[in-house]
Amino acid sequence: MLDYYLERDIVERKLILAVLLTEKEITLDSLCSQTSITPRKAKEYLNQINALFDKDLSITVLKSGITCEFDPNNKEKYFHSIYASSDTLKILKFLLTDNYRTKCLTTFIRRQFISKSKAYHLVNKLKGYLQSIHLDIDDYRVIGDEYRIRYLIAMLHKEYGFAVYEMTPKDMEIIHAFIFSTPTRLKPSVFLDKKFYLFDILLMLSWKRQNYDVSLPQLTLFDRLKELSIFE
């Protein structure tokens, strides 16, 4: 849903990348048909993507078709690189930051080379998004139910690569100690770290945001979650 509020060029580059990471070879016509992007714009985006990733990902455009060479293990990293230039996501991360002593919109946009008018426009646009997920903005910070804020922070980190709180090796050590001390058959692995990273971030937020009270709604879903082995 957040994608609908992002810049058009960010979304279109992401769409092209998604197709290229799925199709081993594709014609320009087919690429444009799947993404609803014009051939001229598609070529422009292909050049931008090639320049962005340098040798990590290589796109070859010929009359016969388009091919893409990449590391399958880096798919999430590729998307994060596309999102990294989004001013909308930069502003959202700023709104979620809780360091009030150094939090100043004017200073932030100057460092990010964002005009003041654009920053205010993005804040207003994000207000619409936040209200759609039952959150809001007050004094340039996200307000609302803490569990919703934490999920938004975790999603922004996992899906878009914008970390409001750094995940340190010590944090991962604590998370692993908690999960693997429970009566499960799970063992630490790179696969599990990637598969359950959203859950890891949510766990980390329990101490990173310990000064914020969490009040969960009375839902059957939360009762079912308590039946998981890690809560035994």
Judge if 65 and 154 occupy the same domain. Answer: no
On the CB side of 180, CA atoms within 13 Å amount to: 12
Q: What is the mean pLDDT of the chain?
A: 88
* Three-class DSSP labels, the chain: CHHHHCCHHHHHHHHHHHHHCCCCEECHHHHHHHHCCCHHHHHHHHHHHHHHHCCCEEEEEECCEEEEEECHHHHHHHHHHHHCCCHHHHHHHHHHCCCCCCCCHHHHHHHCCCCHHHHHHHHHHHHHHHHHCCEEECCCCEEECHHHHHHHHHHHHHHHCCCCCCCCHHHHHHHHHHHCCCCCCCCCCHHHHHHCHHHHHHHHHHHHCCCCCCCCCCCHHHHHHCCCHHHC
* 104 in the same domain as 212: yes
Choose the final residue of a domain: 35, 65, 83: 83
Q: Are residues 30 and 126 in the same domain?
A: no
The pLDDT, as a whole number, for residue 229 is 59
| Shared-domain flag, residues 74 and 94 | no
User: In this predicted model, what pLDDT tens digit does every residue of 40-55 receive, in sequence order?
Assistant: 999 999 999 999 998 8
Q: How far apart are CA 35 and CA 40, in angstroms?
A: 13
> What's the pLDDT tens digit per position in 60-109?
999 889 999 999 999 999 999 999 999 999 999 999 998 765 678 888 88
Number of domains observed in the structure of the chain = 2
pLDDT digits (tens, 9 = 90+) for 131-167: 999 999 998 999 999 999 999 999 999 999 999 999 9
- Both 114 and 20 in one domain: the answer is no
Residues 41 and 104 in one domain: no
pLDDT value for 231 = 57
79 and 93 housed in the same domain: no
100 with 186, same domain: the answer is yes
CATH code of the domain covering residue 73: 1.10.10.10
Whether 157 and 202 map to the same domain: the answer is: yes
Q: Residue 107: its pLDDT value, please?
A: 87
Statement to judge: residues 75 and 126 lie in one domain: no
Q: Do 93 and 78 share a structural domain?
A: no
Closest CA relative to residue 78, chosen from 109, 48, 45, 52: 52
* pLDDT interval class at 221 (50, 70, 90): low
Last residue of a domain, one of 83, 115, 148: 83
Q: Which of 49, 83, 117 is the last residue of a domain?
A: 83
Q: Domain range holding 9?
A: 2-83
Same domain, yes or no, for 150 and 55?
no
Provide the whole-model pTM: 0.87
